[in-house]
Amino acid sequence: MALNSSLNKVSLTALPPLSLYIHFPWCEKKCPYCDFNSHQIKEGVGTSSGFDEERYIKALIADLETELPRIWGRQVHSIFIGGGTPSLLSARGMDSLLSAIRARINLEPDAEITMEANPGSVEAEKFAGFAKAGINRVSLGIQSFQDAQLKALGRIHNGEEAKRAIAIALDHFKSVNLDLMYGLPMQTIDDAKKDIETALSFNTPHLSLYNLTLEPNTYFANFPPKLPNEDEIDTIFEQNLDLLTKAGYKRYEVSAYAKAGMECKHNLNYWRFGDYIGIGAGAHGKISFPDKITRQVRERHPETYMQSMETQGNALVESKDVATSDLPFEFMLNTLRLTDGVATNTFTERTGLPLNMISKGLHEATHKGLLDPNPSLLKGTTQGLRYLNNLQEIFLG
């Protein structure tokens, strides 16, 4: 769908909520399906942990300081520490990092502060330290509870370690999310059901379910395992949705399920086209101004990132204003993931552009049965969520 933006300029009457994303780039072992910016630690490099924690934290804080003039006076509502495996940080390092952040930004008093963790790196004493430092939400990369599937995925933990990690997390954090995957090598429909039932037995407030996909530039892309067929995948998804709904979870985003009031605030801000500072190796950021929306990208490799911060004072590889012709697709790419959608006026509030820029796409998507016909909502239908890529592509300029 062509978009004529020559007469349209960004004009925001209010800035959206602001979050902070921190990328931790190291992990103990690179998984064969992972396309995230993660680097396997090398023992003996920097410190006994295989990475120089103090040096990296120093670079992160310097990186944050470069962003302060761009977000001056704005409050940060959530922090998300992703990776990689951020739980490889020491509790002392986490406390140092969060203390330095609080000293530099206006952080909402009850801000959601999430850390991703690998079940294989969970220790009770360490989690107690993370909680004391200010982490109040943890996202555990469980993927499966069955050893055969975990081995096929290249995970370093087993099913019993996954269960132990969940129990420890529930003892220390206000909110716990379990990341699970389905459509795994050798996985049967019954296997998938057992994974969900095991997850539900812990009654965590949030679950994320991802269908394993073979991403480019991964080991699995080059050496694809045998996966369930499309009919089996559909059956597993419907089975999962039924079990979760009956257990009191609402599917509020394509891959996210939560008990009432326990949705991930940080991710909701992404999907509602909010702003976020991105610091750390390979981090992306999006910051709005009254007359423009900007995006930045940092150096991907941790060593190059740290050297750039130390020698140049920044690690940017890209910093640009988003073209008005790109904003409609970026907005719809995110918001259409939400099962309840967003109010139609959110488009203008968050892009600073008139709604008529997407009127042709709205008509086409509605006509195809992919978009809810309610004019006050931008919301995918059940069919639209099922064929989300098709729906989003309608708004691609």
pLDDT band at 49 (very low <50, low <70, confident <90, very high): low
Q: Which residues of 314-329 are buried (b: 16+ CB within 10 A; e: fewer)?
A: bbeeeeeebebbebbb
Nearest to 56 by CA among 286, 276, 315, 266: 315
Question: CATH 1.10.10: which residues of the chain?
Answer: 327-393
Q: What is the mean pLDDT of the chain?
A: 93
Using a 10 angstrom Cβ sphere, with 0-12 exposed, 13-18 middle and 19 or more buried, the burial of residue 48 is: exposed
pLDDT band at 294 (very low <50, low <70, confident <90, very high): very high
pLDDT at position 48 over 80: no
Three-state secondary-structure class, residue 101: helix
Cα–Cα distances in angstroms (integers) from residue 226 to residues 169, 182, 186, 219, 229, in the given order: 33, 13, 7, 14, 9
Amino acid at 121: S
The answer for residues whose C-beta is within 8 angstroms of residue 275's C-beta and 6 or more apart is: 15, 16, 17, 18, 19, 71, 269, 286, 287, 288
pLDDT at position 5 over 70: no
pLDDT at position 45 over 60: no
Residue count of the chain: 397
For residue 207, what is the enclosing H or E element? Answer: strand 206-211
Three-state secondary-structure class, residue 226: coil
Question: CATH 3.20.20.70: which residues of the chain?
Answer: 18-270
**pLDDT tens digits along 164-187:** 999 999 999 999 999 999 999 989
**pLDDT tens digits along 236-278:** 999 999 999 999 999 999 999 999 999 999 999 999 999 999 9
Pick the CATH number of 18-270 from 3.40.190.80, 3.30.499.10, 3.60.20.30, 3.20.20.70: 3.20.20.70
Instruction: Tell me the CATH architecture of domain 327-393.
Output: Orthogonal Bundle (1.10)
Give residue 276's Cα distance to chain centre.
12
